[in-house]
A and B are shown apart, each in its own frame.
Chain A
Amino acid sequence: MMVIKEIASYIPGKKESNYELAEKFNIDTLFIKNKLGVEFRSIKEKTETASDLCVKAFENLEGKIDIERNKIDCCIVITQNPDYNIPHTSAIVHSKLNLPTNCACFDISLGCSGYVYGLSVIISFMKENNFKHGLLFTADSYRDILDKNDKNTYLLFGDASTVNYISDEKDSSNYFIPIDFLFGTTGTDFNSLIAKEKLFMNGRKVFNFVLKEIPKDISILLERNNLKLENIDKFVFHQGSKYIIDSIKDKLALDSDKVVFDIYKYGNTVSSSIPIILENEIKKTENKNILISGFGVGLSKGTALLTRR
């Protein structure tokens, strides 16, 4: 059975404060804390690339669990800010980690829904090819594409990376396993979150997309798995901003204790936001069913149910 065996993340220690930008953007401390939910943004070094961020997450993974690099069958990187247009970043990660030549590598170009898609892709790919050990990376730094004068985006995004170690285990008890996925796209609004040179976001379009689509998808996913909202121990949404998480929570009348939000010290880390939260949540014994949902660039959405048997 394919399980999420371990998750590790890397959040750069260098931070920038949003409080120092409050006057420039005409916002107050309550807006920063209660609406954005981002007090500080994590900042990568200028020279650090997506592959560098992946390597740092992998080093943290090796600090948590023994990994036999020569047994890694596949390496997938989710990013829209790759090291180069050509080649794929996963090949560079492959080189930096000295992975074996029979290791399959490819990238997935998705934003905030990327982790949910990636989880489905790596598990299907591994099952289809009888793979035993796979690495799923997220590393999507927006640092170089942010406009310093854009209030809608500059205050939100932070840098980070994660790696999921997916493994085929004979005894899958105590590990989380994805049991169902639901995906979708509203391509007509593709230009609501777009980087031609710098990142542009139509916040209202994204907000409306999320509030119209995600609660509906959660209901569909739960119903077809004979589950109810109260059966879910934790809801881990893409950590876009505090306001968007609070709005979903409000619309679904979810218990605050079940909805995790924790990006105050590092910001919205795009496809890394869900696995950063999951890294801690999968260790908590009280969590049996976790619902994850990613949404954004595309406009794309992906929701999944994870369960511990």
Chain B
Amino acid sequence: MSITANSIKVIIKNSEIGKKINIEDLDDTKNLYDQGLDSLDLMTILLIIEEEFNVHIPDEDIEGLKTLNDIANYVNNKLSK
């Protein structure tokens, strides 16, 4: 099991956040906060990922999760251990 930036976009599209963000406009390498998302949106995305992929993302690791690629790499790293 692995996660990609595209699968995170699908998560966003299927959530409440998808109503305000067009996922086609999201750049995998840019800071999500610069693309119309806020800290509450990130909280929602991380919770869905935690539940769908059965991983725990501690608060102290969130600072490093700024882009879709950051999140995908972080989760894949957890899943491979």
**Do A and B belong to a common assembly?**
yes
Residues on A lying within 8 angstroms of B by beta carbon are 31, 35, 202-205, 207-208, 211-212, 243, 246-247, 250
User: Residue among B38, B50, B51, B59 with the most chain A CB within 10 A?
Assistant: B38
What is the bound-complex CA distance between A31 and B33, given in angstroms? 13
Tell whether, in the assembled complex, residue B44 and residue A247 are in contact, meaning their CB atoms are under 8 Å apart.
yes
Contacts of B47 in A (CB 8 A): 207-208, 211-212
A243 and B17 CA atoms in complex are apart in Å by 11
B40 partner residues in chain A, CB cutoff 8 A:
35, 207, 243
User: How far, in angstroms, from A31 to B20 measured CA to CA in the complex?
Assistant: 13
Please give, as numbers and ranges, the residues of chain A lying within 8 Å of B43 by CB-CB distance.
Answer: 203-204, 207-208
| B2 interface contact, C-beta 8 A | no
Main secondary structure on chain A at its contact with chain B? helix
Chain B residues 36-66 with CB under 8 Å of chain A are 38, 40, 43-44, 46-47, 50-51, 59, 62
**Assembled-state Cα–Cα distance A309/B43 (Å):** 41
B5-28: which residues lie under 8 A (CB-CB) from chain A?
15-16
Count B interface residues, CB 8 Å. 12
Interface residues of B: mostly helix, strand, loop or mixed?
helix
Q: How many A-B residue pairs have CB under 8 A?
A: 25
Contact of B16 among A31, A203, A250 (CB under 8 A): A250
Shortest Cβ distance from residue A276 to the other chain B in the assembled complex, whole angstroms:
24
B15 and A250: CB pair below 8 A?
yes
Contact partner of A246 among B16, B38, B51, CB < 8 A?
Answer: B16
- Additional A-B contact list (5), CB under 8 Å, known A204-B62, A212-B51: A31-B38, A203-B43, A204-B59, A247-B44, A250-B16
A38 CB, min distance to chain B CBs, angstroms:
14
Contact partners of A35 in chain B: CB under 8 A: 38, 40
CB proximity of A309 to chain B, nearest CB, Å: 36
- Can you list 25 pairs linking A and B with CB atoms under 8 Å apart? A31-B38, A35-B38, A35-B40, A202-B59, A203-B43, A204-B43, A204-B46, A204-B59, A204-B62, A205-B59, A207-B40, A207-B43, A207-B47, A208-B43, A208-B47, A208-B50, A211-B47, A212-B47, A212-B51, A243-B40, A246-B16, A247-B16, A247-B44, A250-B15, A250-B16
